[in-house]
A and B are shown apart, each in its own frame.
Chain A
Amino acid sequence: MRALDLSYTSREQVEVYRFSWPVSLGLPLLMVGVQAFVPVRLHFLGIFDFGLLLTIFFAVSRRSQISGILTGAAIGMLQDGLTHTPFGVFGIAKTLVGYGASSIGIRIDVENPGSRFLLTFFFYAVHKAVFVAIERELMGQSVHINLGHEAGVAVANSLMAVFLFAALNRFKIKD
């Protein structure tokens, strides 16, 4: 109730949704698989972080911080499994994104395309910042950041989020 008191939206807009088990398990596997295997042929898809988009989508739809944390951790670890870097790099970044997105999802309306665009842009930046911090501070690697490139990728991911979230809305089940 305290969360609703602080909300900047009406009670109707703060709907809580859940997802069926096949969707909850299958969708992350499908999206991470798409991200890893489709860019071999369709190179332009390589810039999209479908794992991140899915983490944000689940977090803002369920509006549960614990659910956001666990979803982010699971998707991140799944992505870590495909890289040659240690487990936990994507996991930590997406855990924080899941927590943050679900916290914001409680307070603001995330159903319209504008807020989804801004939300994704913001969390892409957060995800990148955490990722770079882990690579530099924990793994001791030098990470080069091209701000222009990253801004472009963030915009592309945000645009993709608008369409992807609209498409994924059909899987929502009202709680």
Chain B
Amino acid sequence: MNLFSRHKNTVVLATVLLAQFLALAVQVKRQTADGPVRLIRMIAVNTLAPFERLFIYSGESIRGVWANYIDLRHVRSENLRMKAESERMLLDRAREQEDARQARRIQALLGFKEQWIDTTVAAQVIGTSGSETSRVLYLDKGTKDGIRADMPVITPDGVVGKVLTVYGETSQVLLINDPTSGLGATLVNSRLQGIVKGTATGELQLNYIMGDEPVQPGEALVTSGGDRVFPKGLPIGKVVTVSMGRNLFLNIGLKPAADLNRLEEVLVITQQKTRAPDVTGLGPIRAADILAQHLPGVPQTAVQTTPGAAPQQPSAAGGQSSPASVQGLAQNSSTSKPQTARPAANTGTTTVPKPLVPKPVTPKQPAPNAGGTKPKPAAVTGTNPQ
């Protein structure tokens, strides 16, 4: 009792800190190679693991003496069998990877859909987190106004963030410049795709663009739609700085299109409509046309000598295709007119390529980005550490 009263303050401090550490450890999930794991589980495992390891090792070392030094019969034959199996599995794996790549390309080409903003709700910004490390906003609209989690939030200038948590009459929005957010983006001129993330200092960065790609300051950036949260084509910002970063990727600093520090009113996109591109009247797409899009570039002399053959289509890199390219293929297959191949801009519009007058053609260089050499980041939705 004396000991407790003498160290009462320290005991209270330790108790309060321990309670909060435990509360934190229950909530936090640390990312591991196999997915997120609660911190308390990691702590528990890391605390107990040395004892378990000691127990197991002592047993294993005894068994190991027998297994590794005495009982070594049939090891050589088993090793040979395993090597043969490993080689067979490598071949299988390569074949399956190729199948998967082809499936993705055809899926992207045939299953292409466009997203359209249907309805929005205007909301007033009523608060912030009050902390520089948690870039969230509070809106005066909530579930009663039809707002749900993961809805995109924009201004007429550009993207702001996405709804993180919704309450009855308010909602919490994670800004795009928070380090835990992320959205798929496309550079307007070069059509390169990357992921826009926030930094700890509240700036925006475009990640996963290879160091040898030609990115210039001033180039605009729009949403790619690949994150399944933001509709395609919304302005994100402009490239401000470009420098070589680590791991062969560029460090690309961005200036957001919307002034994220001075937001007063925003629009929440409450409904998006998805529709397939209109290809009625353009004839069926032949399998040969689809395959031709993925073959290496063919010199255009071939187009002139064999009318009706599939023309060279330099787009569709990175598994993405555009309506323009789909229509171009369909039209070519039906009319059989020789055309000069055009790079199909991935703009999401459905313009029909205009037939061009054929002219003498010299063999061309392979089209830029043909063959899907562009880095293709995985679809990312904004992360929610809770």
A residues adjacent to B (C-beta < 8 A): 32, 35-37, 39-41, 43, 46-47, 51, 65-66, 69-70, 73, 77, 79, 82-92, 95-96, 99, 131, 134-135, 138-144, 146
Contact = CB atoms under 8 A, between A and B. Distances in A.
B126 A73 contact: no
Interface of B: 8-9, 12-13, 16-17, 20-21, 23-25, 27-28, 30-31, 39, 125-134, 136, 138, 164-165, 172, 174, 178-180, 199-201, 261-264, 384-386
Binding site of B, secondary structure by majority: helix, strand, loop or mixed? mixed
A65 B12 contact: yes
Given A65-B13, A84-B174, A40 B264 contact: yes
B130 A32 contact: yes
Given A47-B132, A51-B130, A92-B17, 10 more contacts: A40-B125, A73-B20, A79-B130, A79-B131, A82-B134, A83-B136, A84-B164, A88-B24, A138-B28, A139-B30
B129 A66 contact: no
Contacts of A146: 201
Contact of A83 (B9, B129, B384): B129
Contact of B201 (A47, A139, A144): A144
A91 B16 CA distance: 9
Contact of A84 (B12, B39, B384): B384
A69 B201 contact: no
B385 A84 contact: yes
A134 B21 CA distance: 10
Contact of A95 (B17, B30, B164): B17
Contacts of A43: 261-262
Contacts of A90: 131
B16 A82 contact: no
A96 B127 contact: no
Nearest to A82: B129
Nearest to B384: A84
Contacts of B127: 36-37, 40, 82
A53 B109 CA distance: 59
A67 to B, nearest CB: 10
B20 A139 contact: no
B27 A87 contact: yes
Nearest to B32: A140
A88 B21 contact: yes
Interface centre among A51, A65, A73, A140 (most CB of B within 10 A): A140
A69 B20 CA distance: 12
Contacts of A96: 17
B170 to A, nearest CB: 11
A138 B201 CA distance: 20
B114 to A, nearest CB: 31
A115 B79 CA distance: 75
A140 B27 contact: no
Interface centre among B9, B125, B264 (most CB of A within 10 A): B9
B51 to A, nearest CB: 23
Nearest to A143: B200
Nearest to B134: A83
A86 B131 contact: no
B172 to A, nearest CB: 6
A128 to B, nearest CB: 10
B201 A66 contact: no
22 contacts: A37-B127, A39-B130, A40-B264, A46-B128, A66-B9, A69-B9, A69-B12, A83-B130, A84-B164, A84-B180, A84-B384, A85-B133, A88-B23, A88-B27, A89-B24, A92-B20, A95-B20, A139-B28, A141-B180, A143-B133, A144-B199, A144-B201
